[in-house]
Structure 1
């Protein structure tokens, strides 16, 4: 939930859309509960254990496609404050009066249901087999994610809970849209401070006013807009103390002064008698005076100019009068707000403030480490839980294994095969562009005699890349993976995977340079051929392609010579179109063929 009300709507104007490489070589903390809950309902009944399926695919894509180093965080024992808020929210939604509910004592908490805890346990087991670090929070998972981000152990947090900012997060990724050029919806605390003028303690004060995970109600009658107006009055250093004083009954004026509730209203200074204004033009002076001597503001000799509907007099008296009324209106609004806050029992809750400002949610984040996947155990685990074929599991693990291999090669400089001592780097096939992001298609070589993917399996299990590219707009890069393409050539078996260009350049600089040079030569040669084809040629040598003008000129002459004088004009036109369509060859450019067919 996070902060109550429409808090995300307040922050949305300051969100930034980041591209594929935003998390490249960065550490990111992921709220595991968010991933489990997000699609459990949507996929329930359509997949076996969807929480395991999504965690498997999303983790591999986050690691290989986006190049991040994920660390997952799971919830610990909920705070008694949150347990009380959960119970209150449940009874309130049920229409039951919550005023008589017993207060939960310290050390007593309401755990999540057993089914969800089992899902979390299975996902944690899967992540450990993948070599991904998993941390358990002391309380809320988003609190630990924020602490890791605040202390510099991770570069961003992936969580939908807006109270991550209250716990100290500097960069929060609220949502991921993989089927786009800019998949990350990112919120930076620096942008929020610059745009709204709010800092961490300001956001904590807003959560106390409008509600949060530990106090779902907030102050009755105060929403996001009112809370924003209140906290902007004070600086970050004094906002929490001032809220505490207001809760005790003190009323702070907008200019910073203090007056007690028992002081009563101060006597307003005597207002001078209002100057007369013309009912026709609205300027100072009576209508009779303007009739005798013209209005100096209208600048019209024939009399006053009738005032428009939304006319506002700008004389000094009217300006001061409006300013005084606005100030009085603000003071009355502020008094009403302070009265609402003072009526709320035990406001603000110091335990909630201390919880948000705490920095002890788990052990030191420096203990995080990423290891190699245990492929044997992973195959057994997924075959048992998801009933997948072992060869399918190995294929789906290949992108993660190849990414790990490319990352380690520049430092280790090893020729160790990639997977099961079977695959080695062969060459770069081409450059693929998907959603505006470029990657290398890399060939991994394996002798066909020992291939597990080509013997003993039905042919239907092989999914070719060409089929996936055609439907790439509907493929979710987080929720599913493209199976590596399998190719057989001259007794060898090749697997094709999409790899980060920077990783391949770092791991195999010579091969990358050779591929780029060949690509440049092919493009140069293609450009030369197209320029020669576009140049008009006077030669009639067979095999030389004519220019468009010469082609049409010769086609028209041939048409004139072959037309029968006795043929009607309609038949002549039909025969001419048919002859043009027949004469068009696949060797002609597409634009020329289109003109011949539909010209």
Structure 2
């Protein structure tokens, strides 16, 4: 729950929407109970043990797709203060009057129900098999998450409990939205300080006024807006001390209080009596004097102008009168608020303040370490709990194993050249886009060892580059894109989506070769498209003379006649040629008629 009222609504304008790469190479503390409660109701009845399924998929995606290093935190023994609040909330929801609830003794607490505790234990066992560190808090899980964040062991907390800020958290991820280009709804304490002017003790003071996990009632009649106005009157160093004073019945002076008037000065009311205002124009002076001649503010020959609706005189007396009225209004409001706070029993609760300011929620986080999944034990666990096929478990676990392999290779600590002792890096197939973020699709080949096989560097095969848009996938945390299996010429290939940065660090030469070939293909495609778009010049020959034109037209029909007709035409042409040659002494006009006639 966290802080009561509409506390998240107060912080929402200062939240950020972060993209896919926000958690890359960052450590993040996860409130495990938050994950289980968040989706247990939604998935219940549709799948077997939804808490295990959700934790399995989300952890692998958080580790492999988003590049984070998660550490999970589970609740310890709740504080007796919270146990009392839970009982009170239960009785109120049941319609039972709760003025005389018995106080819970120190060391005695109300644990969560047995079924939920079993769910948490199963998820912890799963996480340990995945090689993910799990810490148990002394009290509340969000308190330990905040402590790890404030001490620098993690970069962010994933929890919906707003009181993580009261425990000292600096960055809180409230929600992870599926099917989004910016999946993380993130709140930074620095943004809250800059936007609202509130620091950690201010937020603790607001929680004491409106209610929290350890005091669900708060102060009757005070909501978030009124509490915000109260705490802004004091600095972060003095706010809790001033609340103590108010709880004892004192009324500390606040900014904007009524200013004292010296005894030697005339009162404001006496001054206003001798300095009347015109009822027509509203300016200083009597109506009679303004009727004879217009006042300097109106500047009209025919008398003063009638004052408009909502007119405010800006003379010193009227301004002072408005200020005093506003101060009196503020003072009356402050007195009523202080009286409301003082009526509460033992306000503020020192134990709650001490709990929020404590930093001893468990041992420090320096011992956190991430291991390698125990594949065989994990397969047995998932088969037993969810009845999954062993091959399906191994396939869905592959993205996490490939991310570990690439990280180790990038650090030059990998002694094993094969992924899962079976698959070697083969090639980068293409670039895939999911929710606006790009990944490499990697082909992993399972070598077939024969008597003549010698293991060497894998051949780099650059396939035709494709830009795959994958916007129809499910929740990037709750589900996984199954690695694809391909069989080509007797070789078995697995296709996984990997971070471009990670692949570039692990296989720099192969990545450079792929990107170079990709660029060359793009240039070739560009040149071909430009060539196709360029208009080809028409093949227009030189204009022929009229003689050549007629000769070509007369020669064409001769190709389509038969042999007898051809010989007849040939003999006729021969006779005409002879006649032309023998009549060279004829005039030019005669020769033209003989030639074209």
Taking structure 2 as the reference length, what is the TM-score of the superposition? Answer: 0.83
CA distance in 1, matches of 2:433, 2:255: 58
CA distance in 2, matches of 1:273, 1:474: 76
Report if aligned partners of 1:149, 1:169 keep a CA contact under 8 Å in 2.
Answer: yes
Report if aligned partners of 1:402, 1:418 keep a CA contact under 8 Å in 2.
Answer: no
Q: CA deviation at 1:443?
A: 0.5
CA distance in 2, matches of 1:64, 1:473: 19
CA 1:73–1:38 in 2, change beyond 3 Å: closer, same or farther? same
CA 1:126–1:229 in 2, change beyond 3 Å: closer, same or farther? same
2:505 paired residue number: 506
1:190 paired residue number: 190
Report if aligned partners of 1:64, 1:400 keep a CA contact under 8 Å in 2.
Answer: yes
Report if aligned partners of 1:447, 1:491 keep a CA contact under 8 Å in 2.
Answer: no
Q: Does 1:314 align with 2:300?
A: no
Q: CA deviation at 1:312?
A: 1.6
Render the CA deviation track for 1:508-540: whole Å, top value 9, x for unaligned: 111011001001101111111111122122247
Q: Does 1:162 align with 2:162?
A: yes
Classify the secondary structure of the residue corresponding to 1:392: helix
Report if aligned partners of 1:173, 1:187 keep a CA contact under 8 Å in 2.
Answer: yes
CA distance in 1, matches of 2:30, 2:400: 18
2:219 paired residue number: 219
Q: Does 1:516 align with 2:497?
A: no
CA distance in 2, matches of 1:282, 1:54: 71
CA 1:413–1:351 in 2, change beyond 3 Å: closer, same or farther? closer
Q: CA deviation at 1:54?
A: 0.5
2:38 paired residue number: 38
1:487 paired residue number: 486
CA distance in 2, matches of 1:438, 1:272: 77
CA distance in 2, matches of 1:354, 1:381: 42
Render the CA deviation track for 1:42-99: whole Å, top value 9, x for unaligned: 1111111100110000000000010000000000000000000111111222222211
2:495 paired residue number: 496
Taking structure 1 as the reference length, what is the TM-score of the superposition? Answer: 0.83
Report if aligned partners of 1:75, 1:136 keep a CA contact under 8 Å in 2.
Answer: yes
**Equivalence map 1:23-62=2 (5 Å):** 23-62=23-62
CA distance in 2, matches of 1:390, 1:539: 68
1:3 paired residue number: 3
1:556 paired residue number: none
Q: How many residues align?
A: 514
CA distance in 2, matches of 1:422, 1:217: 60
2:270 paired residue number: 272
| Structure 1 stretch displaced more, 212-221 or 98-107 | 98-107
Report if aligned partners of 2:281, 2:304 keep a CA contact under 8 Å in 1.
Answer: yes
Classify the secondary structure of the residue corresponding to 2:109: coil
Report if aligned partners of 1:146, 1:168 keep a CA contact under 8 Å in 2.
Answer: yes
CA distance in 2, matches of 1:474, 1:445: 25
Report if aligned partners of 2:16, 2:186 keep a CA contact under 8 Å in 1.
Answer: yes
Q: CA deviation at 1:413?
A: 5.1
Classify the secondary structure of the residue corresponding to 1:439: strand
Q: Tell me, which stretches of 5 or more residues in structure 2 are unaligned?
A: 259-265, 451-467, 541-597
2:410 paired residue number: 410
Render the CA deviation track for 1:474-519: whole Å, top value 9, x for unaligned: 5101010000112221211111111011110111111011001001
Classify the secondary structure of the residue corresponding to 1:251: coil
CA distance in 2, matches of 1:179, 1:106: 46
Q: Does 1:22 align with 2:22?
A: yes
**Equivalence map 1:509-588=2 (5 Å):** 509-539=508-538
Q: CA deviation at 1:317?
A: 1.1
Render the CA deviation track for 1:309-338: whole Å, top value 9, x for unaligned: 222221111111100000000011111111
Classify the secondary structure of the residue corresponding to 2:198: coil
Q: Does 1:377 align with 2:371?
A: no
Report if aligned partners of 2:74, 2:136 keep a CA contact under 8 Å in 1.
Answer: yes
**Equivalence map 1:253-292=2 (5 Å):** 253-255=253-255, 271-274=269-272, 275-292=275-292
Report if aligned partners of 1:486, 1:494 keep a CA contact under 8 Å in 2.
Answer: yes
CA distance in 2, matches of 1:540, 1:3: 83
Q: CA deviation at 1:449?
A: 9.5
1:396 paired residue number: 396
**Equivalence map 1:72-221=2 (5 Å):** 72-221=72-221
CA distance in 2, matches of 1:55, 1:512: 33
| Structure 1 stretch displaced more, 298-307 or 195-204 | 298-307
**Equivalence map 1:231-270=2 (5 Å):** 231-255=231-255
The structure with the largest alpha-carbon Rg is 2
Q: CA deviation at 1:181?
A: 1.4
CA distance in 1, matches of 2:188, 2:231: 20
Classify the secondary structure of the residue corresponding to 1:403: helix
Q: CA deviation at 1:307?
A: 2.7
CA 1:108–1:496 in 2, change beyond 3 Å: closer, same or farther? same
Q: CA deviation at 1:306?
A: 3.1
Report if aligned partners of 2:277, 2:286 keep a CA contact under 8 Å in 1.
Answer: yes
Report if aligned partners of 1:71, 1:133 keep a CA contact under 8 Å in 2.
Answer: yes
Q: Tell me, which stretches of 5 or more residues in structure 1 are unaligned?
A: 259-267, 451-468, 542-599
Report if aligned partners of 2:429, 2:443 keep a CA contact under 8 Å in 1.
Answer: yes
CA distance in 2, matches of 1:116, 1:305: 77
CA distance in 2, matches of 1:411, 1:95: 61
Q: CA deviation at 1:470?
A: 7.5
| Structure 1 stretch displaced more, 246-255 or 405-414 | 405-414
CA distance in 2, matches of 1:299, 1:495: 90
Q: CA deviation at 1:299?
A: 2.6
CA distance in 1, matches of 2:407, 2:188: 29
